[in-house]
Amino acid sequence: MRRAPWVLAGTVAGLVGILSFRSSPQKVTLSTLPTTASPAAATSTSGGNATGGTAGPSAPATTASSGGVVSATGPQVNYFYGVLSVRVTAAGGHITKIAIASLSDGAYAYSHYVDSVSLPMLIKQAMAAQNAKIQGVSGASYTSAGFAQSLQGALSSLKLS
């Protein structure tokens, strides 16, 4: 019986601490996410980056330039924690550059952390595979699935797979 007041006081103190916790959202910028390019990408065109986005699917955008370098942006995919789209640049039937065209993860700190860690890994996997059949990143299942879906849309519009 002597421990009851201490247990009750500790419970109340913990509950007050949890209820008074306030987090501040962080803004995600595309400059924090690196892109991976092969040596052939030095001749590629620069892709336009857009921030934000809507959850609805959009038609993949395709651009071509001289020298056989083509680019396409995959559809915006809602991956549960946000919306992302992938931009692919290819030359001679090979992927030369993959970048994140748009990313909106609701400015939640956890989503920002998961995206900043997993997206560079996903880009590296896709560059190595040269298609959208990637393994994904453990702990980032939704991000991996959304990335692969947008990547597949961009590759389909480029008629690469």
* pLDDT tens-place values along the chain, 161 residues long: 688 888 889 999 988 888 887 766 555 555 555 554 444 433 333 333 333 333 444 455 666 665 688 999 999 999 888 899 999 999 988 999 999 999 998 778 888 889 999 999 999 999 999 999 999 999 999 999 999 999 999 999 988 87
Asked if 154 contacts 59 with a C-beta cutoff of 8 angstroms, the reply is no
Position 34 scores a pLDDT of 52
Position 135 scores a pLDDT of 92
Of 108, 58, 63, whose CA–CA distance to 84 is shortest? 58
Q: Name the pTM for this structure.
A: 0.63
Position 111 scores a pLDDT of 87
Asked if 137 contacts 118 with a C-beta cutoff of 8 angstroms, the reply is yes
Question: What does the angle CA 157 – CA 65 – CA 132 come to, to the nearest 5 degrees?
Answer: 30
CA dihedral sign of residues 14, 16, 18, 23: negative
Burial of 129 (0-12, 13-18, 19+ CB in 10 A): middle
User: How far is residue 49 from each of residues 30, 99, 122, measured CA to CA in Å?
Assistant: 8, 9, 18
Burial of 89 (0-12, 13-18, 19+ CB in 10 A): buried
Position 44 scores a pLDDT of 35
Q: Spelled out in words, what is the top-level CATH class assigned to the domain 26-157? A: alpha beta
